[in-house]
Amino acid sequence: MAIVASAFSSEAISRGEKRAEAVPNEVIVCFRDVMTASAAQESLVARHGGKILDKEPALNCVLVQVKDVKKFIKGMARESAVAYAEPNYIAKATYTPNAPLYEKQWGLPAIKADKAWDVQMGNKSVKIAIVDTGIDYTHEDLNASYVSGGYDFVNNDNDPMDDNGHGTHCAGIAAAAIDNGKGIAGVAQVSIMAEKVLDRYGYGSNWNVARGIVHATQSGANVISMSLGSSSFSRILQKACLYAWRKGCILVAAAGNDGVRRIDYPARFKTVICVGSIDQSNSRSSFSNYGPQMELVAPGEHILSTYPGNMYVYKSGTSMATPHVAGVAALVWSHNPTLRNRDVRIILARTADDLGTLGWDEEYGFGRVDAEEAVNVASALSTRIAKRLKEEKRSEC
């Protein structure tokens, strides 16, 4: 998960983060609430030599084409109606390539998904949005779980077909069909939708990632799985994640694959569950980033999953660990739909199998996600809530 960011963010530079790339001649401008009118925004942008290319009303932000990025951002900083302006950073998928059905999926029994299935296998009313390179929705193991409603922000159309493979691989880990007699098993038998924000090479812009998050939220996603990221801080991503969290979504993102003490964005944001990778011996993968924002870990090495063209391949990375956690979150919500996103997040943390030093630590967070225990706790809470509601109803009589 590596979103690469650019040199013009003073906040990123002050954090000591490495420089990154941005889309040439593009700037994201977010306005304060005092300026929401489209005409006023266009006038202000034009005054500084910019041209609005795209708009995201939910965030009150616009994508602007400029001749001189540095000069334009400096000009925007002087405008009281502008909250901030930043380069349109580039994002990319973050798996570590590996060489090329249930018995070969060591990750599922590792997180006790097989035991959780005795209680809950998932509900199609729960939806996971895969914000990635798209999904091959014709795949034999995904077509039963795939639902429309996503979007292709790379080609600006309603067909988020995967032309890279990364998104399809992540989708299979989270929600490939179990009882169809084909291929692999996904963690949860829920619905999946595709927000295609990365191109055929696994790259995209933060503008598109943010729009994918917003679109997924507005399209009814419960869980937003992001196996992508950036080493540099981005306010547009932060705002989009906050928007989704406040709307009740669970956001899950990969920690990054540089093997260093630094969590990439958006996993680094407080509104997002940061996921690291472990190997079959329950040790942190050598490529898995770690740090103070680490929340959970999951299997991320030599993971078999779906791939375009009805194929199945092995891949490694925190990108592969992330949909394991997204799938467990979907299982918990399937079992107890009365839970809020903060409840689901707390359950995942408190039921995780502790790894590393005792208690929370920077390498493993709260530990390896535990599907069985998480579903059991959700079940207990469901019984408790039902009992309370019954007692309240009885007291009203």
List 313's β-bridge partners, or say none: 305
Would strands 191-196 and 151-152 be described as parallel, antiparallel, or unpaired? parallel
DSSP letter at 28 equals: E
Record the tokens describing residue 81, joined without a space: 């109606």
Rounded CA-CA distance 234/199 in Å is 20
C-alpha distances (whole Å) from 108 to each of 97, 111, 184, 186, 391 are: 20, 5, 10, 8, 39
Active site residue: 231, 319, 324, 335, which one?
A: 319
Residue type, 264: D
Q: Cα angle at 240 between 202 and 22, to 5 degrees? A: 45
Residue type, 7: A
13 burial level (CB within 10 Å; 0-12, 13-18, 19+):
middle
**Cβ-Cβ contacts under 8 Å for 281 (sequence gap 6 or more):** none
Active site residue 258: no
Active site residue: 6, 9, 48, 132, which one?
A: 132
Would strands 2-4 and 191-196 be described as parallel, antiparallel, or unpaired? unpaired
Task: Identify whether the C-beta of residue 2 lies closer than 8 Å to the C-beta of residue 21.
Answer: no
Rounded CA-CA distance 381/196 in Å is 35
| Rounded CA Rg of the chain | 21
Would strands 203-205 and 82-93 be described as parallel, antiparallel, or unpaired? antiparallel
Active site residue: 6, 48, 141, 166, which one?
A: 166
Task: Identify whether the C-beta of residue 298 lies closer than 8 Å to the C-beta of residue 325.
Answer: yes
CA 322, chain centre distance (Å):
8
Task: Identify whether the C-beta of residue 253 lies closer than 8 Å to the C-beta of residue 322.
Answer: yes
Active site residue 316: no
Active site residue 335: no
Task: Identify whether the C-beta of residue 32 lies closer than 8 Å to the C-beta of residue 235.
Answer: no
List 127's β-bridge partners, or say none: 191
Task: Identify whether the C-beta of residue 93 lies closer than 8 Å to the C-beta of residue 228.
Answer: yes
**Cβ-Cβ contacts under 8 Å for 189 (sequence gap 6 or more):** 121, 122, 123, 124, 145, 175, 177, 178
User: Active-site residues: which are they?
Assistant: 132, 166, 319
